[in-house]
Amino acid sequence: MTSSRVRENLIQELRLQGIHDERVLEVMTKIERHQFVEEALKSEAYKNRALPIGHAQTISQPYIVALMTQAVMGGATPTKRVLEVGTGSGYQTAVLAALVETVFTVERIRALTESARLRLASLNIRNVHFGYADGTLGWPPYAPYDGIVVTAGGTEIPQALIDQLAPGGRLVIPVGPTGAQSLRLIERTMRGTTVEQDLGGVTFVPLLTGKV
């Protein structure tokens, strides 16, 4: 159930869905998603769907992880330092960490931050800084970022996130009311203006403020 063949099948499915960045596909072939879910769900880990991780949250669907990663990596400037808002299980974090120099990841649920920190350490992933913080404010101490990936959806795009993008940087974020969200790619141009693209309809858990 967790063999490399089931992983290969999933990667084939991602290709058919339009994921074309070979760097992303290769990393997702290697990272074992079953390591990021509880025992009872391991047999489901290579299905192309979101799964529960406790605290009313989910590990994102593999297609969405691939789409967001491809979008944040796809600009004209190198993507070296990336902020992730919504650590959750740490799966998207691990995918990013395999592709960029440093990942900064913030989570508002303390128990999830702590379990993700332990999980990534046990997988020997070392280029990640974990923060227990409200990511709607970004993470100012380490800004600016070449890329920002937000794995929870709100009704608007927090201005702090746009402000913390480096020139040429890209923000990938689901936006819209529950049931009608779409994934947006916002690029900050070298002149400081922004360009927005719609990457299609998505369903994410809510982006909430404060910490618990």
Q: Please select the residue that binds ligand SAH; options are 10, 24, 45, 59, rule is CB under 6 A.
A: 59
- What residues are paired with 54 via a beta bridge? 57
115 interacts with ligand SAH by CB under 6 A: no
Q: Count of H helices and E strands in the chain?
A: 6, 9
Assess 107 for contact with ligand SAH (CB under 6 A).
yes
Handedness of CA 84, 47, 206, 109 (dihedral sign): negative
Q: Assign 130 to helix, strand or coil.
A: strand
- Does position 153 interact with ligand SAH (CB under 6 A)? The reply is no
Q: Please state the closest distance from residue 137 (CB atom) to ligand SAH, in A.
A: 8
| Structure tokens given for 170 | 């890209």
Question: Would you mind telling me the total number of residues written for the chain in this entry?
Answer: 212
Binder among 37, 82, 96, 106 for ligand SAH (CB under 6 A): 106
Please give the Cα distance from 61 to 63 (Å, whole number).
6
**Angstrom distance (rounded) from CA 15 to CA 54:** 30
With CB under 6 A as the contact rule, the residue among 6, 123, 199, 208 that binds ligand SAH is 208
Restricting to residues 117-136, name those near ligand SAH by CB under 6 A: 134-136
Active site residue 60: yes
Please report whether residue 57 would count as binding ligand SAH according to CB under 6 A: yes
Q: Which is nearer to ligand SAH, 152 or 166 (CB)?
A: 152
Q: How far is CA 145 from CA 68, 162, 200, 201, in A?
A: 16, 10, 24, 25
Catalytic residue among 4, 60, 89, 122: 60
* Residues noted as catalytic: 60
Residues that bind ligand SAH (CB under 6 A): 53, 57-60, 85-86, 88-89, 91-92, 106-109, 112, 134-136, 151-152, 205, 207-209
